[in-house]
Structure 1
Amino acid sequence: MAEHYSSFEYKGTRWFLQRITAVFLIGVLAFHFMLLHFVNHAAEVTFLGTQARMQQVGYFGTMIAFLVTATFHGVNGVYNALVNQGLSGTRKTTVKWVLIVASGVLIVQGIRTALYMAGIIA
């Protein structure tokens, strides 16, 4: 039988954060589906409704946490999948930094959009 291999250091920080973010994302996705697909059906979701929800501090904070958590979880998973496939050396370093920069850009743009939707910036 083949030996199990993972680039995650078992019970290391990235391993732990991957599991914690997964639990958080499951909860937030359940909240999202309940609110925007069952309470308010997709056809009823409007720009003004989104602005009204984003002006609520709790909703705004949850969406920012969702953005940061989902970005980390996804990028960490992609990076570790590539490492598991044999990525090493200079390519590994390059991919790591490209993913870090792309994550930063995604988070900054997401926060800017959230601030705009909340009416904090114009």
Structure 2
Amino acid sequence: MAERYSSFTPGGTGWFFQRLTAAFLVVALAFHFFLLHFVNHAYEVTFLGTQARMENIGYLLTMILFLVTAAFHGVNGVYNALVNQGLKGTQKKVILAVLTLAGLALVAQGTYVALVMGGMI
């Protein structure tokens, strides 16, 4: 039988945060899906409605936390999948740097858009 390999150390910090963010994303995605597909149907979702929702500080903070959590979960997952495929040495460091910068850029841009939509900038 093939040996199981994972770049995550069971019980380690990376392993813990990957699971913690997954749990949060399930809840946040359910909230997001319920609000934008059942409370407000797709045809009712408008730019002005989005602005109105983002003006609610609780909603704004939830969506920013959703963005940060999703970015971390995605970047961490892709990085560890590549490490599991045998990424090593300089390539591993370069990929980590590129993914980290891409994740930070995504969070910065998304936060900026959320703040503008919420009328805070």
Please tell me the TM-score bracket, short chain as reference.
over 0.9
Provide structure 2 residue ranges, at least 5 long, that are not aligned to the other structure.
Answer: none
1:1-122 matched pairs, under 5 angstroms: 1-121=1-121
Which deviations, in whole Å up to 9, do the C-alpha atoms of 1:3-61 show, x marking residues without a partner? 11000011100100000000000000100111000110011000110000000011001
Runs of 4+ aligned structure 1 residues displaced above 2 Å come to none
TM-score, normalised to structure 2, is 0.99
Cα distance in 2 for residues equivalent to 1:44 and 1:102: 32
- Identity over aligned pairs, percent: 67
Indicate the SS of the match to 1:87: coil
Note the aligned Cα RMSD (angstroms): 0.5
Cα distance in 1 for residues equivalent to 2:103 and 2:32: 22
Instruction: Give the letter aligned to residue 53 of structure 2.
Output: R
TM-score, normalised to structure 1, is 0.98
Cα distance in 1 for residues equivalent to 2:106 and 2:34: 26
In the TM superposition, what is the alpha-carbon distance from 1:88 to its structure 2 partner? Answer: 0.3
Cα distance in 2 for residues equivalent to 1:33 and 1:69: 16
Instruction: Give the letter aligned to residue 8 of structure 1.
Output: F
Indicate the SS of the match to 1:86: coil
Aligned residues: 121
Instruction: Give the letter aligned to residue 89 of structure 1.
Output: G
Instruction: Give the letter aligned to residue 118 of structure 1.
Output: G
In the TM superposition, what is the alpha-carbon distance from 1:80 to its structure 2 partner? Answer: 0.2
Instruction: Give the letter aligned to residue 72 of structure 1.
Output: F
Instruction: Give the letter aligned to residue 54 of structure 1.
Output: M
Cα distance in 1 for residues equivalent to 2:74 and 2:45: 26
